[in-house]
Structure 1
Amino acid sequence: MDERVQKLLEFDKVKQIAGKYAVSDLAKKLLLDLKPASDEQIVKRMQRETTEGVILLKAGMNLPVDELPDIRKSIKRASIGGILSPGELLSIAAIMRASRLIKKAWYDKALTDCKVVESVIEKIHVFTSLEEKISKIILSEEEISDDASPRLLSLRKEKKILLQRAKEKLEFYVNSPHYQKFLQEPIITVRNGRYVIPVKQEFRNSIPGVVHDQSASGLTIYVEPMPVLQINNEIRRLEIEENKEIERILKELTAKIAQNSEYLEETFEAVIRLDFILAKAKFSIEIKGVEPEFNTRGYISIKKGRHPLLKGEVVPIDIYLGNEFTILVITGPNTGGKTVSLKTVGLFALMAQSGFHLPCEEGTEMSVFTNVFADIGDEQSIEQSLSTFSAHMKNIKEIVDRADSKSLVLLDELGAGTDPTEGAALAMAILDYFLKIGARVIATTHYSELKAFAYSRDGMENASVEFDLETLSPTYRLSIGVPGKSNAFEIARRLGLKREIIDAGRNFLKVEDIRMEDLLQEIELERKRIRQEREELEKIKEGLFNKLTELEKEREKLRKNEEKMIEKAREKAKDIIEKARKEAEKVFEKLKELEAQDTKQIRDKIAEEVRKTLKKAREDYGTEEVPLIKTAKKKIISGPLHPGDRVMVESLNQEGYVVSLDEKGKIAQVQIGAMRINLPVESLVKIEEEKNDKKEVTYSLLAMEKTKEISKEIDIRGLTLEEALLKVEKYLDDASLAGLPNAVIIHGKGTGVLRKGIHDMLRTRKDIKSFRPGNMNEGGLGVTVVEFL
């Protein structure tokens, strides 16, 4: 698009402001060089890029550095065999650090709706090892670490010893009363990289040695005493060796950079691109910008748009163009905001098509134009001897030659600068031409003829900027559909111009002009009344909406409270059932312990406790049955009992099977799970399972299944103590239920934590007869052998 128009609409200033948010000079240059695109897909991608940048910033992700040095030349030099300086290596390490932190922040935030930024992040590589190596070796632009290599450390240690010896010998001269009278000052200094002492000129032969320099006055010479000469020579040799070793280290690091040059270049470009995106996003946040919607049919609808360069309280404008009409004629007084409205639309078009968000409200829609043309302001050219009118006509001629149906044309004070009658007629002809070719045009004017012309043409519309006659100041509000009124006579009257002059002026007006002005005044008053009513309705609507929102929140709150109460009741019911189960299990544990005693009275008492516990659970939780163990569907059968028959022990509400009968057939030994109990035959009911496709597993069958499936050992090595205890508890329950006589727990030797924890747990179990460490052939201290009751 035309560079002159971009500058005229102050797009360059917008880019300069956005550039201040960039960290690197390269990203700043990218912003300053930004051009509006005319391809809809490219424009949408650029806008999405900025939107994702805002998402990143609001999520707390920003560039983790304050500086991004340009490392491209250094990478290129490394690639062609040059040796990089410590400063260059530090700059590359800085980019490496930035890329690593950016990558980490990206993965930490886990943002899934930033596909454009994600494509940039994917091009950022991490060089952790090389970054650490450079940072460890290069301490500053002038200093290499002693630990850069063993050779360098050795040379520097040796050099340090020699320096100390040289200083000691020189201190002998400085501190000696005999030599002090020969010295200009009792100090040690350096000349040409060698340690010397300042000797007075007249005593130059009093201290044998090599003269390396003399003062400007010639009164002082700097002498390297002979005893120090050999030491200095050795120090110099070590310094040469040290520089060779440093050069070797730098060469090695440079070679590593050369090996990674392609990845480094790609990473650097991606980091700069991210800097560019975040700069646009920061500018968007600063101007409270939004991403506009886009179309290619030439439709513009700006909602509460604010010119981004205006300071203070900016009155937003609502403006639309391109559907019912393609040409908008804005009229109104000077300083009323006509030109600002014109510039706002033009600048919005340039910003939107360059990927910048717009300072407006959501729902704003912009079209993608192939070109934006503008003729704004007084462009009188002294150099070309052109009048204001001629300069405008020259610009308009170029616009007419280049504009098409995909162009946005902005014309300020169209037809001004010449005879009003001719100027108005020419302006109408220009607008009529743009109407025919389908260009989108916004024009400002003072001519009343253009107001009537806009009324008479389909595809054209009037608009005006308001003027407050009470305060004699513009309101800067734009109203589409109503032409502006000049208000010249009213303003003159309020400013105190004599009434007779104002009346005389009115008499000079044509009847048509007077009627037009009166009509405009009536329209203005009606429009104000309608706007006030609309504002009141908006307030009422907003109030009702807020009340509805509050009611909806209250209803949601009640619903959540109701759900919490129901959930709480369910949890309480579960607790009651669980409590009943646990109490019943404890009772059966007692029954198991007392089985050997065969005390009928105690058994009956315990059975009664079970019934009471279950009854209380049913009472606490309504009519829901709370059985200890699920049983399959049964039917009662008649006939005498025989070993192997399945029976129901009614007093215990438990199922078992007959193991044996006494000689008289009155006492039966019944197997209930892992327990055997002697019970009277009359207390037993013979039962038979019904044939069913989905049989429920009884306790006895479960025991038999467990016997088939359970292993005689369990391995818990590698688990935490808590995990191991849970696993072993479950295993021991299954093994006991299956009737295993013993089991092996493999826990390993290790620190002994698992073994001690398992032994402490085994001591608390009542179904364990004994436990011991394994024998040598069983695994020794790495296993524990358990024997069940």
Structure 2
Amino acid sequence: MEQHTLERLEYPPVTELLSRHARSELGRKLALKLSPTSAPAVVQRWLDQVRQMRGATEAFGLPPFGGVHDVRDLVRSAVPPAKLEPPQLAELAETLAATAEITAWFKSLGPEYDVLHRLGERLGDHSAVAVEIGRSIDARGQVRDDATPRLARIRASIEEARHHVRVVIDRLLKSAAVQRMLQYPNATFHEDRLVLPLRAEHRGRLPGIIHRSSDSGATLFVEPAEAVALNNTIITLTAQDHEEVSRILWTLTQLVHVNAEAILATLDALAVVDLVVAKVGFANAFRMVCAEVNAEGVVRLRGARHPLLMALRHDAGQPERAFTGVVPIDLRLGEDFDLLIITGPNTGGKTVALKTVGLLALMHQSGLPVPAEEGSCLPVFDRVLVDIGDEQSLQQSLSTFSAHLGHILNTLARATPRTLVLLDEVCAGTDPEEGAALGRAVLDELLRIGCRTAASTHLGALKSYAYGKRRAENASVEFDAQTLAPTYRLRIGEPGTSNAIAIAQRLGMSGRLVSAARGFLDQRHQDMVRAIQGTLDSRRRAESARRQAEQARLDAATRQRQYEERLQALRQKEADFEAWRQRVISLRPGDRVRVRRFDREAVVVRLQLQKQQVVVSSGNLELELPLTEIVPQDG
């Protein structure tokens, strides 16, 4: 999808909202990179993933993403002779262990979650790598003392040598003679060697090696002679420790390197899983639904809201206002008409209506639910072409109208029958008569191409356009003549009016001036208004009948879906019962079972199948129970 379209329809802020619902950095990054596809099969698969994940999380909770980190760069860097550091290996092991938990979550789902099972199968089993790292690196990112037998011996020897050094130093510190020679009664370290702070005037009186002096020269840091050999031993052992740790890290890095391709594939799959989880969270926060993928090019939006307008209220701490404060619109295309001309006053909601349908189309093709009601459907467009807003090109010294016309010409050159075209104030910005003439020519061409088009205009001459075209229809943004304010509702089948004279009259213009203004209206304009008004009643009745029929269809579809869900649940219960029955009748004395009532294990003593009873032993008790009270234990 073109970047121009994504920016004009404000798609990036939607991915930002989506990313907030990711549970890991993997999912957050993928959400921010999400873009629409024009492949219907891919869109269907993405939406099926969301539907099943929504059901699974409602029934079983979210997949356990705790401990998942984005360690892809770390894995890519695991190329010997480079070595991964202990904290890096600990982070990788934690992520691989968390992956195993997520895999177990998928495996716990029933067969009805077939789409999710296919998603979960992409997660590899890297538990052996995690276990191997865990043998050497602890959860804090430190090499374990027992990582290897050699390291264990080295560290034990270091600890023993340090103990002997402390004994020597403690004995000297307790000596009254030594205490009188010290600057302060504590030992300190110099390059891993314990030294004593000797006053300079006592130089030579404490046998040992002077390693350094203080800046003032008043203090000499002396390693007592009795500790030199022990400290030398510690230094030697520490070097051996570093050597052994380096060997361990190299071995583990090699292990990661060998498995890098498979681990990276699993991490990418984890990102996809988290993206699906984020889509569900986003959908739940804004009460979104998965629109049906329509193969006939039909757009049918019921109760659609602009998600960014909803987000403004939601982020302002008014979650309920996100729904009640944003006026929903109903919009359709592709059934009885392909071109919708939206008219009405400025700031009345025409542009918002265009942006809503465009943005929801992009969301749909990204596998996202949309803020609309059940029964909504959208096609998968090959492209969405838009001309919305003032895009004057300073580089080419084009006027606003020239830039606008340039976008329209580009649209006409690229549109196909599978394209959605959105034109805001088509051919505005020039002489109204010439603009209307150009607008008619452009709309004629879009009808000829057969794409789905929604165009807004305030040009009066274009209001009658749809009445002469078989696949075109009018719509208007509703205006409340009493409050002199737009309601932002979209009324299909009715052209908008400017309401300028009515507004002037309500604001107090004298009847004489109002009559004069009406008299100045072109006769053809007045004839057109009367003709339009004459058709509105019948069109409103037809639209009402269509809505009732559509609602009846949706109600029937809902009942059918509920019936199928109940039937599926019943079949599942029957299958579960049959599986339980087969396990029960195969029980033998000595088999272990769980008693439901007490939630404790017991052992079968004898079966009484004719009485549908079983005698079990639990501790010192023998209980006679109905077969339905026991659950056979595997193994």
TM superposition score category, shorter chain reference: 0.7 to 0.9
Query: Which has the larger Rg?
Result: 1
TM-score calculated relative to the size of structure 2: 0.80
Name the structure 1 match of 2:327.
315
Deviation at 1:395, TM superposition (A): 1.2
Deviation at 1:277, TM superposition (A): 1.8
- CA–CA distance in structure 1, aligned partners of residues 365 and 181 of structure 2: 82
- CA–CA distance in structure 1, aligned partners of residues 19 and 41 of structure 2: 24
Name the structure 1 match of 2:92.
92
Name the structure 2 match of 1:452.
464
Name the structure 2 match of 1:248.
247
Give the direction of change, closer, same or farther, for the CA distance of 1:247–1:185 in structure 2 (3 Å limit).
same
- CA–CA distance in structure 2, aligned partners of residues 142 and 482 of structure 1: 69
Name the structure 2 match of 1:412.
424
Name the structure 2 match of 1:288.
287
Q: Are 1:326 and 1:441, in contact at CA under 8 Å, matched by a contact in 2?
A: yes
- CA–CA distance in structure 2, aligned partners of residues 103 and 353 of structure 1: 28
**1:145 counterpart SS class:** coil
- CA–CA distance in structure 1, aligned partners of residues 232 and 397 of structure 2: 80
Name the structure 2 match of 1:25.
25
Length, aligned pairs only: 558
Name the structure 1 match of 2:196.
197
Q: Are 1:53 and 1:277, in contact at CA under 8 Å, matched by a contact in 2?
A: yes
Name the structure 2 match of 1:667.
none
- CA–CA distance in structure 2, aligned partners of residues 150 and 309 of structure 1: 61
Give the direction of change, closer, same or farther, for the CA distance of 1:213–1:99 in structure 2 (3 Å limit).
same
Superposed CA offset, 1:127-153 (max 9, x none): 445434433532255522223233333
Superposed CA offset, 1:86-119 (max 9, x none): 12221221122112111222223x2323333212
Deviation at 1:309, TM superposition (A): 0.9
Q: Are 2:63 and 2:105, in contact at CA under 8 Å, matched by a contact in 1?
A: no
- CA–CA distance in structure 2, aligned partners of residues 199 and 531 of structure 1: 101
- CA–CA distance in structure 2, aligned partners of residues 154 and 284 of structure 1: 57
- CA–CA distance in structure 2, aligned partners of residues 27 and 757 of structure 1: 53
Superposed CA offset, 1:612-662 (max 9, x none): xxxxxxxxxxxxxxxxxxxxxxxxxxxxxxxxxxxxxxxxxxxxxxxxxxx
1:701-740 correspondence runs (5 A): 723=604
Query: What letter is aligned with 1:265?
Result: L
Q: Are 2:26 and 2:270, in contact at CA under 8 Å, matched by a contact in 1?
A: no
Give the direction of change, closer, same or farther, for the CA distance of 1:726–1:384 in structure 2 (3 Å limit).
closer
Deviation at 1:38, TM superposition (A): 1.7
Name the structure 2 match of 1:35.
35
Name the structure 1 match of 2:302.
303
- CA–CA distance in structure 1, aligned partners of residues 265 and 544 of structure 2: 59
Name the structure 2 match of 1:585.
none
Query: What letter is aligned with 2:526?
Result: I
- CA–CA distance in structure 1, aligned partners of residues 90 and 536 of structure 2: 69
Give the direction of change, closer, same or farther, for the CA distance of 1:270–1:199 in structure 2 (3 Å limit).
same
Deviation at 1:7, TM superposition (A): 0.6
**Which of residues 424, 430, 434 in structure 1 aligns to 2:442?**
430
- CA–CA distance in structure 2, aligned partners of residues 416 and 241 of structure 1: 81
Name the structure 1 match of 2:5.
5
- CA–CA distance in structure 1, aligned partners of residues 254 and 81 of structure 2: 8
Query: What letter is aligned with 2:196?
Result: I
Superposed CA offset, 1:379-404 (max 9, x none): 23445433221221121121122112
Give the direction of change, closer, same or farther, for the CA distance of 1:757–1:375 in structure 2 (3 Å limit).
closer
- CA–CA distance in structure 1, aligned partners of residues 483 and 67 of structure 2: 52
Name the structure 2 match of 1:586.
none
Give the direction of change, closer, same or farther, for the CA distance of 1:125–1:385 in structure 2 (3 Å limit).
closer
Deviation at 1:215, TM superposition (A): 3.4
1:537-552 correspondence runs (5 A): none
Query: What letter is aligned with 1:365?
Result: C
1:501-520 correspondence runs (5 A): 501-517=513-529
Name the structure 2 match of 1:691.
none
- CA–CA distance in structure 1, aligned partners of residues 415 and 607 of structure 2: 81
Give the direction of change, closer, same or farther, for the CA distance of 1:180–1:92 in structure 2 (3 Å limit).
same
**1:416 counterpart SS class:** coil
Q: Are 2:30 and 2:271, in contact at CA under 8 Å, matched by a contact in 1?
A: no
Q: Are 2:88 and 2:141, in contact at CA under 8 Å, matched by a contact in 1?
A: no
- CA–CA distance in structure 1, aligned partners of residues 91 and 192 of structure 2: 30
Q: Are 2:493 and 2:540, in contact at CA under 8 Å, matched by a contact in 1?
A: no
- Corresponding position: 1:236 with 2:248: no
Give the direction of change, closer, same or farther, for the CA distance of 1:77–1:443 in structure 2 (3 Å limit).
closer
- CA–CA distance in structure 1, aligned partners of residues 59 and 175 of structure 2: 71
Superposed CA offset, 1:47-86 (max 9, x none): 2222222223222342323453233344445465643321
**1:409 counterpart SS class:** strand
- CA–CA distance in structure 1, aligned partners of residues 304 and 237 of structure 2: 72
Q: Are 1:373 and 1:410, in contact at CA under 8 Å, matched by a contact in 2?
A: yes
Name the structure 2 match of 1:131.
130
TM-score calculated relative to the size of structure 1: 0.65
- CA–CA distance in structure 2, aligned partners of residues 495 and 67 of structure 1: 65
**2:210 counterpart SS class:** strand
Give the direction of change, closer, same or farther, for the CA distance of 1:717–1:444 in structure 2 (3 Å limit).
closer
Name the structure 1 match of 2:570.
none
Query: What letter is aligned with 2:338?
Result: T
Deviation at 1:319, TM superposition (A): 0.7
Name the structure 2 match of 1:337.
349
- CA–CA distance in structure 1, aligned partners of residues 133 and 459 of structure 2: 73
- CA–CA distance in structure 2, aligned partners of residues 347 and 725 of structure 1: 67
CA RMSD of aligned residues (A): 3.4
Deviation at 1:252, TM superposition (A): 4.0
Point out where structure 1 has 5 or more consecutive residues left out of the alignment: 550-715, 731-752, 759-789
Q: Are 2:341 and 2:475, in contact at CA under 8 Å, matched by a contact in 1?
A: yes
Q: Are 2:401 and 2:430, in contact at CA under 8 Å, matched by a contact in 1?
A: yes
- CA–CA distance in structure 2, aligned partners of residues 90 and 229 of structure 1: 37
Name the structure 2 match of 1:68.
68
Name the structure 1 match of 2:582.
none
Point out where structure 2 has 5 or more consecutive residues left out of the alignment: 311-321, 560-587, 593-601, 612-616, 623-635
**Structure of greater relative contact order (alpha carbons < 8 Å, 6+ residues apart):** 2
1:112-511 correspondence runs (5 A): 112-140=111-139, 143-258=142-257, 260-311=259-310, 312=322, 313-511=325-523
**1:410 counterpart SS class:** strand
Give the direction of change, closer, same or farther, for the CA distance of 1:465–1:270 in structure 2 (3 Å limit).
same
**1:461 counterpart SS class:** strand
Give the direction of change, closer, same or farther, for the CA distance of 1:107–1:493 in structure 2 (3 Å limit).
same
Q: Are 1:75 and 1:261, in contact at CA under 8 Å, matched by a contact in 2?
A: yes
Name the structure 2 match of 1:101.
101
- CA–CA distance in structure 2, aligned partners of residues 134 and 451 of structure 1: 72
Q: Are 2:342 and 2:456, in contact at CA under 8 Å, matched by a contact in 1?
A: yes
Q: Are 1:166 and 1:228, in contact at CA under 8 Å, matched by a contact in 2?
A: yes
- CA–CA distance in structure 2, aligned partners of residues 304 and 209 of structure 1: 88
Query: What letter is aligned with 1:351?
Result: M
Q: Are 1:379 and 1:391, in contact at CA under 8 Å, matched by a contact in 2?
A: yes
- CA–CA distance in structure 1, aligned partners of residues 452 and 604 of structure 2: 74
- CA–CA distance in structure 1, aligned partners of residues 47 and 62 of structure 2: 19
Give the direction of change, closer, same or farther, for the CA distance of 1:188–1:722 in structure 2 (3 Å limit).
closer
Q: Are 2:208 and 2:224, in contact at CA under 8 Å, matched by a contact in 1?
A: yes
Superposed CA offset, 1:223-269 (max 9, x none): 21222111111111121222223233334444444554454333323
Query: What letter is aligned with 1:439?
Result: C
Query: What letter is aligned with 2:123?
Result: I
Give the direction of change, closer, same or farther, for the CA distance of 1:451–1:182 in structure 2 (3 Å limit).
same
What fraction of aligned residue pairs are identical, expressed as a percent?
38
Q: Are 2:416 and 2:451, in contact at CA under 8 Å, matched by a contact in 1?
A: yes
Query: What letter is aligned with 1:112?
Result: P
Deviation at 1:377, TM superposition (A): 1.2
Name the structure 1 match of 2:57.
57
Give the direction of change, closer, same or farther, for the CA distance of 1:719–1:505 in structure 2 (3 Å limit).
closer
Query: What letter is aligned with 2:301?
Result: I
Superposed CA offset, 1:655-689 (max 9, x none): xxxxxxxxxxxxxxxxxxxxxxxxxxxxxxxxxxx
1:684-763 correspondence runs (5 A): 723=604
**2:146 counterpart SS class:** helix
